[in-house]
């Protein structure tokens, strides 16, 4: 690690300038490689899922839901005193 204390009376050495520029360029290059690799992996995954869903057999569109949860009023055939509301 380079610890540089700025002094206005002394110019920054050329070696330090080149080292800073090289470090920034290398850091940005590594960041670009990882971002591009992530993009390629995401693109390949999306393409795989698209092809997988394209060739998958289709399901029936009609969904049969039983009516066991239908709301009905309570009717007791043996007791006629119950008022249905």
Averages of pLDDT over each 10 residues, the chain, 85 residues: 65 90 97 96 96 82 63 59 62
Rounded distance between C-alpha atoms, residue 47 and residue 77, angstroms: 62
Predicted TM-score of the model (pTM): 0.49
Please give the full DSSP string across 4-15, using - where no structure is assigned.
----TTSPPPHH
Q: Model confidence over 44-66: pLDDT tens digits? A: 999 999 999 888 887 766 666 66
pLDDT of residue 67: 62
């Amino acid at each position: 690690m380079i610890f540089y204390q700025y002094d206005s009376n002394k110019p920054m050495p050329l070696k330090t300038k080149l080292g800073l520029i090289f470090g920034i360029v290398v850091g940005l290059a590594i960041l670009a490689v990882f971002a591009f690799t992530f993009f390629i992996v995401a693109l390949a995954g999306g393409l795989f899922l698209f092809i997988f869903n394209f060739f998958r057999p289709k399901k029936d569109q009609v969904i049969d839901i039983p009516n066991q949860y239908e709301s009905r009023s309570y009717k007791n055939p043996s007791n006629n005193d119950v008022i249905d509301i």
